[in-house]
Structure 1
Amino acid sequence: MRPTDGCGPPADSRQDPAVIWRNRALRLLDHVPMPIAVCEFGGRILIVNRAMAAEFGLLPGQLRNRKILEFFALRDSSTLQALTEAVRLHRRSRYPARVSWSAVDGTERHGEMTVDLVSDAPEETPNLLLSLRRLDEPAGRPVTPQAGPRPEVSPVEARILAAAARGATTTQIAKEIGLTPDGVNYHLARLSRRWHLPNRTALVARAYATGVLAAGAWPPEPAR
């Protein structure tokens, strides 16, 4: 396989050192097992690693300059609205999006695309850094929460749920936890998708029902 079949062109000893290090970083990206792509805000693919291209049985060069939505279907159109609003307000945050796509064997796959807005300066139109996580459960299939062992949550997620149970606003939670408001919303969105629940009221209710939050404690706190 030629070196140019990966993310970037081969380094040339006569090139500028910055270009050489850029090409080395692109080669390193090719060895990352998680599917990753970088797109313009309009969706044109700039960089894609081998893991992402392999989802479609292609080489990275065959995806460059094509539109990312040629390959993925968004399951929630609100993601595009959130990204547009983030660009308008010069936010540089992370957004989860449920997606589906046709794999190389023709089967429909489902996953979560994490979208990071990245740019060198706040006033610039950002690029989109996309990382794909495949999900075992097809998107959109209704799932009824089952009683059982306490679900796995991170310490940060547990603290966010406890603050939400006290009635704290997103801004108040962000200040308490040490995150941005967008970071709090990101964690809540991930919990909503993982537990298949529509809002933070339902998240808090399930956190108590499954023992994530300590029963009978006020102010609310994570279970020990």
Structure 2
Amino acid sequence: MATTSFPDASPRKKTAAAAVPVRRDPIGAPDGATPEAACTAHVSPRTLAVTAAEPEFARQFSLSADEICGRGLLELLRSPAPGQLREKFTALSSGRCRRFRERVTGRDGEGRNFPAEVTAIAVGQPTGEIVGLVVFLRRAEEAADGGPVLSALDAQVLEGVASGESTVQLASRLYLSRQGIEYRVGQMLRRFDAPNRPALVARAHALGMFATGQWPPRVLPERVR
């Protein structure tokens, strides 16, 4: 009598999938998290004291990388709403948010204030425990009179927005993608604290970014780096 064989139905051991390592930068921030032209520090989530810093971060405050360790971050940075800045760090440290961005003011060793933008990111364990905070500091560039300075490309984008060009028109003229235009406009909206494009243009006019009596609008040469 012919016998029929059946596939082995016994349970098989599952092979654990190998964990895919996540590359991190030298102080532990995930790839792609670093804002352009930013310097970096590690901060304790419990005390908000600096535990490690790049030399460039420390130089912003006229300190060495060793000297800045142990300093309270909120002693180095000021905000128009100090309580709100502390609350954002508290939310980050407790895991209630993963990152935030805020405009701040720093003070160097000679007592001079400088405007900057800080981006803070929580670093957590798989269990959800927050083990550190990574802080990126990007110093805002200013003209001699204290006004903002733009890159040549951002100046062209701002001129186009001021003259009424759409994202598609700007992308075609400047040989950029639509996403690239939207990214640059978004950066300027945050930098000029404007909710939309008309407000961005109005804010730029108020700050003296454009040459007077000229159409199409042109950003002043001293406002371009």
Normalised to the residue count of structure 1, the TM-score between the two structures is 0.49
Under a length normalisation based on structure 2, what TM-score does the superposition of the two structures give?
0.49
Larger radius of gyration: 2
Tell me which protein shows more helix as a share of its residues: 1
